[in-house]
Amino acid sequence: MNDARLILCMSASLDGFLARPDHTLDWFLGHEGPQDARRQRATVELVAQMGTIILGRGAHDEMSRAWPGSTSPIGVLMNTLPKVVFSSTLAESAWANTRVDPTPIEESVPELLRRADQDVVCFGGARFAHALARHELIDEYRLTIHPVALGEGLPLWHGLPEPQRMELVASTVYADGSVTQALVP
């Protein structure tokens, strides 16, 4: 039996939103500073332990424009690790080491985890994360909550069939006021 887990790694606002209503991340991206180095190292360490990255179409489209050519430590990992994009509308991806899977996630993700030698990480996007949560496919939530309230936007939790109780297994506070929590269902 394989012990590979699916870890959802996302950032959210203090009031639980992943992005503004128009899907922009201006509240989060571009505000990184020297105080974020520790959090960035933690993300690199997490991704370095993963065997595969899974994404929805929206996150793929954003990341496949942002990461190719990056020589940063996280960029190198994002470009070299195998990636699976779950999409019924994308035929192929030009992003290195990426394959497209049109199979429903509730069928494909459990099989992917059964075959995996290492944990699998998901960076979103919002609709993909909602679908993974709805199908109870996430083994660990690695959520970074940033000290900013948006008031409205794309919610972190949406369309759950019932409340999902979580157990906090780790928490790290960073100098910029963000907090990363590792939670398991």
Reported as half-sphere exposure (CB side, CA atoms, 13 A), residue 167 has a value of 4
Edge-to-edge strand order for the sheet containing 179-184? Answer: 98-101, 83-86, 52-56, 120-122, 6-13, 140-146, 179-184, 167-173
Q: How far, in whole angstroms, is CA 106 from its chain's centroid?
A: 17
Please give the pLDDT value at position 24.
85
Q: Could you give phi then psi for residue 35, rounded to 5 degrees?
A: -70, -15
- pLDDT computed for residue 33 by the predictor: 61
Could you list the pLDDT tens digit for every one of the 185 residues in the chain? 568 999 999 999 999 999 899 988 888 765 556 657 777 888 888 888 899 999 999 999 989 998 999 998 989 999 999 999 999 999 999 999 999 999 999 999 999 999 999 999 998 788 899 899 989 999 999 999 999 999 999 998 877 778 889 999 999 998 888 899 999 99
Q: Looking at residue 35, what is its pLDDT?
A: 57
**Residue 30 counted as domain residue:** yes
- Decide if 1 is inside a domain: no
Query: Total structural domains in the chain?
Result: 1
Identify the domain containing residue 174 by its residue range. Answer: 6-184
Residue at 176 is within a domain: yes
> What's this model's pTM, rounded to 2 decimal places?
0.90
Q: How far apart are CA 142 and CA 120, in angstroms?
A: 12
Is 12 a domain residue? Answer: yes
**129-161 core/surface letters (b: 16 or more CB in 10 A; e: else):** bbbbbeeebbbbbbbbbbeeebeebbbbeeeee
CATH number of the domain encompassing residue 107? 3.40.430.10
Helix axes 126-134, 57-66, angle to 10 degrees: 140
Cβ atoms of 54 and 112 closer than 8 Å: yes
- Alpha-carbon distance 107 to 113, whole Å? 11
The answer to the question of residue 103 being in a domain is yes
Contact present, 10 and 123 (Cβ < 8 Å): yes
Does residue 124 form part of some domain? yes
